[in-house]
Amino acid sequence: MKISIFGLGYVGCVSLGCLAKNGHEVIGVDVSNFKIELINNGRPTIQEKDINEIIGEGFEKGRISATPFVEEAVLNTEVSIICVGTPPSSNGHLNLSYIFKTAEQIGKALRAKDSFHTVVIRSTVIPGTNRRYGDIIEEFSGKKRGVDFSVVSNPEFLREGTAVHDYYHPAVTVVGGDNTFAMEQVASLYRCLDAPIEITDVKVAEIIKYVNNSFHALKIAFSNEVGAICKSLHIDPFKVMELFCKDTRLNISTAYLKPGFAFGGSCLPKDLKGLVTLGHDNYLDTPILSVINSSNEQHRRKAFELINDTGKKNICMVGLSFKEGTDDLRFSPFVELAETLIGKGYHVTIYDEYVCLSKLIGANKAYINERLPHLSEHLSNNLEQSIAENDVVIISHRNFDPKQYQHLLKDKTAIIDLVRIHDLEALPNYEGICW
């Protein structure tokens, strides 16, 4: 395939070399004459392991060149890959001016092109950039998106120092777009790699790099805070984290990594508070660990706001224990939500097949007697009746099967889902807490 790459910095140079090594003819485009001269002499624009060899090899085989002329590059290639910088501004927003400048330039170049052209945004950009990029091309080219050209999002996940290795060994390749031909064209560039190719929505492709890197930053900060606490207690933090990473069922896994409601129960809140207190007792500031509970509280308030926004006071809650399949009510976020609603004058009916007041004992019974002393007045053993008699239904447990209640649910003012029941999403009155 004939490919043009806009921006010969880190991502652009690595992409240029790796694509050429895979057999493609690649032409680089940059505003820097110095970078263009380097490429046209078979030399990379960056210092990076293995980059000298792949750029030199691609140049010797006649697959690599560079030019300052956009029209030349666009007219002589099928695909343009955008790798220009998106530096942060002082207020945290990205500077997308370089990105949109290439859209204007490519748009002007496309005026003289009759064949279909695919533009690939490889740079890290905010959601919505792809759409605006296409609008700019349409404005300056007079062409129509989806007919004459397409814009595909294909985020890079390269790390400096291992970028060439990362290019050839990705965990996943992400391709987002709205044109089947263009997405398949981009996907074909990576079929030689031993990694899955995920075709997804444009905005998902645009935001995933931010989510990835934010999580990586969170992992580092979390590990450092754990290390500080361990050091203060004369514990080897490396042994702790080594053991931590051996749990691939809950710790290093997909567990707990799905949006939903606030955490609760008798373990997570207690142990989080215990670790934060250990740090505090040893005069340590642990901002990451300390803010977790505040974030959890904010998420709990979000549920109340969704209910409050309905303007209705008759509420049915499906599920009260901290998770389905148990009668453990201790520190359940659903108990706290019910407590808030009742305290603010809502009429709350609660159905939970596992909660029977006469069978509650010990700390579980003591907790609910303190938080919801009149729970018996709110509990129902008839789910169908509970749904029928209330205006808003809150889904708290994943084991709720809505099929036999669809005729009732569709007429409710709102169905507020805290756990994501897929069969409810088609209802017009459906609202997920964070989806």
Sign of CA dihedral 413, 418, 423, 428: positive
For residue range 404-418, list pLDDT tens digits in order: 999 999 999 999 999
Phi, psi angles (nearest 5°) of residue 118: -110, 130
Strands 173-176 and 117-121, bridge-based pairing: unpaired
Q: Taking the mean position of all CA atoms in its chain, how far away is CA 114?
A: 37
401's tokens: 């099967």
What is the structure's pLDDT at 406?
94
Distance of alpha carbon 190 from alpha carbon 152, whole angstroms: 14
Distance of alpha carbon 185 from alpha carbon 76, whole angstroms: 17
Q: How many CB atoms lie within 10 A of CB 105?
A: 21
* Catalytic pick among 192, 267, 356, 434: 267
Nearest to residue 330, comparing CAs of 362, 359, 298?
A: 362
CATH numbers and ranges of domains, the chain: 2-200 (3.40.50.720), 201-257 (no CATH), 296-432 (3.40.50.720)
What is the structure's pLDDT at 337?
98
Amino acid at 422: H
Sign of CA dihedral 333, 335, 340, 344: positive
* 403-406-407-409 Cα dihedral, nearest 10 degrees: 150
Kindly list the distances between the CA atom of residue 94 and the CA atoms of 118, 127, 155, 202, in Å, as whole numbers in the listed order: 24, 11, 15, 18
For residue range 305-329, list pLDDT tens digits in order: 999 999 999 999 999 999 999 999 9
Kindly list the distances between the CA atom of residue 230 and the CA atoms of 152, 218, 227, 240, 373, in Å, as whole numbers in the listed order: 46, 18, 5, 8, 41
Nearest to residue 316, comparing CAs of 410, 404, 389, 254?
A: 389
Distance of alpha carbon 395 from alpha carbon 419, whole angstroms: 7
Annotated binding site for NAD(+): 30, 35, 86, 124, 160, 270, 330
Distance of alpha carbon 301 from alpha carbon 322, whole angstroms: 17
For residue range 235-277, list pLDDT tens digits in order: 999 999 999 999 999 999 999 999 999 999 989 999 999 999 9
Annotated binding site for substrate: 157-160, 209, 256-260, 264, 323
What is the structure's pLDDT at 92?
85
Distance of alpha carbon 49 from alpha carbon 160, whole angstroms: 9
373's tokens: 């002393």
What is the structure's pLDDT at 236?
99
Annotated binding site: 30, 35, 86, 124, 157-160, 209, 256-260, 264, 270, 323, 330
What is the structure's pLDDT at 90?
83
What is the structure's pLDDT at 89?
86
Low-confidence ranges of the chain (pLDDT < 70): none
- Cβ atoms of residues 45 and 193 within 8 Å: no
What is the structure's pLDDT at 184?
98
For residue range 361-386, list pLDDT tens digits in order: 999 999 999 999 999 999 999 999 99
Annotated active-site residue 267? The verdict is: yes
- Mean pLDDT, all residues of the chain: 97
